[in-house]
Chains A and B, each alone.
Chain A
């Protein structure tokens, strides 16, 4: 197969299939024309218009806050779950718990969104909290499914970690809690950083779950874009989408780079 045209051609086609739509979106974001499908020359006017659009700026701010908060909560919960699953040896139901932690990865988002909505509504009736749906409920919802991703990343790092590191610290006189903060946490920190970044981008991207659990005045950026597109695609959406792609690409690359650097060091 080596040297044949087949592999390069296949990979070219594959990547073209994946990236031509995104590329065309980026190109059209610099389109001067009002009409999305007609090229009217290069311009950055739609980027300028974005900055004057209060609705979009507000939604972006909400998305950012939701992303940071839920990524942080997800990192804490996911790390604890991973620690329990890897460090407490074999206990009854460990396999079941491992499966359950990762289930949100494959569960349809509609289901997660719907079930969380039902939970929030019944909690409001029973406990009076959360009193209305808004940013708080979106943060809770995003934390839960992002925690699953963080747990998977942290788990694989904890499993790779040499057990004798923790034993060595015990041997040198550190109690179990001390060992966790002195040794375990710093060693898995790069995995947690990349887990956080991944959780942040997942939260930033999510439309379906947010639509279910959000309330008035707390529309996230994807929700605003989606409602704008339903009224007809305007060129400024292209510009916005391009910016989001940029942010996500940077976050994912940083996450990948952090993990790669660590795996190289062993």
Chain B
């Protein structure tokens, strides 16, 4: 396991930025229909070796169906799936180089922890002593050695999750598919387990494909995220890219919270544009390519990007307006505000509480909000 050399240059860690890199898993134009219902519609994506790729979306968006097609439990109605260059069309689930960790964990209730983990090795034709050796290594990795003889119903939720992980990893699959791996854990355990998952992934160098509805989980775990809705992938990108440069209103709204403002492009000067909005007045920003004067666009501003000040900013500062504080919630590390603009529109803003002895902005104060051009993202769809 440790024989794999650490990547030497940063580019190796982000193979998707290299147009010549060969993808490890290729999903090409895959659709899945159940009767008249389309669960997955024309999805194409490339996943590279060693990635942690998250499929993120609400329930019923098709992410689990896509994962099940990779595992071989469903076959695509159209399109094909290649893993390590091989077409998976006629390869049944038990012959694929993938293993899956199920949302329900699916531990065999009549087998002890070590028998659960050994099951895959014995099916592979490994001898019993050899299998038990590997099982012991695996249980050590997930820190479950003392529980080898227990039955699944004698374990806590977190322990069951780790048994499921060990069982799915013991055959050293090329790809590990994880369906809501942390979904059944409580918040604190979930945070610990996230980092544990990453540690194990880095130790073994396995490619992970994770399905989740939890955007925080996706952001923390993923090298790249595919945002799905209604069976389609709307955007694929690194977590930062998805958050900072969403390509549509849907993605901007789905990831984190955002304030969206409708407007029309009033003037263009190179890449710099002025957008007229009913809520904020004229907003100076950087326009994406292909935008023309008179076009209707949406401006997206994240709540934490507003600067709130009691004093009006210096004359000539672009992108500023006055607002009334309608509501304020103190959350410890941050405070969240609901601000009422001149025309009655409510926007949300957050401020991080850096100083202990700050004099915080409170209810019913009239303040200035400023949003410098770089924090404003122009969306055309």
Chain A residues at the B interface, C-beta cutoff of 8 Å: 162, 164-165, 167-175, 178, 182-183, 186-187, 189, 265-266
Contacts and interface: CB of A to CB of B under 8 A. Distances in A.
B99 interface: yes
Contacts of A178: 123
B109 A265 contact: yes
The 7 closest A-B pairs by CB, nearest first: A172-B120, A173-B123, A168-B106, A164-B106, A164-B102, A186-B110, A170-B93
11 contacts: A162-B104, A164-B102, A167-B93, A168-B108, A171-B98, A171-B100, A172-B123, A174-B119, A187-B110, A189-B110, A266-B153
A175 B93 CA distance: 9
A175 B106 contact: no
Nearest to B164: A168
B63 interface: no
Contacts of B32: none
* Interface of A (DSSP majority class): helix
In this complex, which of B92, B110, B124, B153 has the most chain A Cβ atoms within 10 angstroms of its Cβ? B110
Contacts of B71: 167, 171
A149 to B, nearest CB: 24
A183 B108 contact: yes
B94 A171 contact: yes
B171 interface: yes
Contact of B104 (A164, A174, A175, A265): A164
Contacts of A265: 109, 153
B109 A172 contact: no
B224 interface: no
A265 B73 CA distance: 27
B110 A171 contact: no
Given A165-B109, A168-B100, A187-B109, 12 more contacts: A164-B104, A165-B108, A167-B71, A168-B167, A169-B108, A170-B94, A172-B94, A172-B119, A173-B120, A174-B94, A174-B119, A187-B110
A164 B109 CA distance: 12
A175 B103 CA distance: 22
Contact of B167 (A172, A175, A187, A189): A172
Nearest to B117: A172
Contacts, number: 65
A92 to B, nearest CB: 15
In this complex, which of B72, B98, B123 has the most chain A Cβ atoms within 10 angstroms of its Cβ? B123
B94 A173 contact: yes
Interface string B84-126: 0000000011110011101110101110000000011001100
A174 B71 CA distance: 14
B93 A171 contact: yes
A266 B110 CA distance: 11
Contacts of A167: 71, 73, 93, 100, 102, 106
B266 to A, nearest CB: 56
Interface in B165-224: 167-168, 171
A178 B119 CA distance: 12
B99 A172 contact: yes
Contacts of B153: 265-266
Interface string B71-82: 111000000000
A73 B161 CA distance: 40
Contacts of A165: 106, 108-109
Contact of A174 (B99, B123, B167): B123
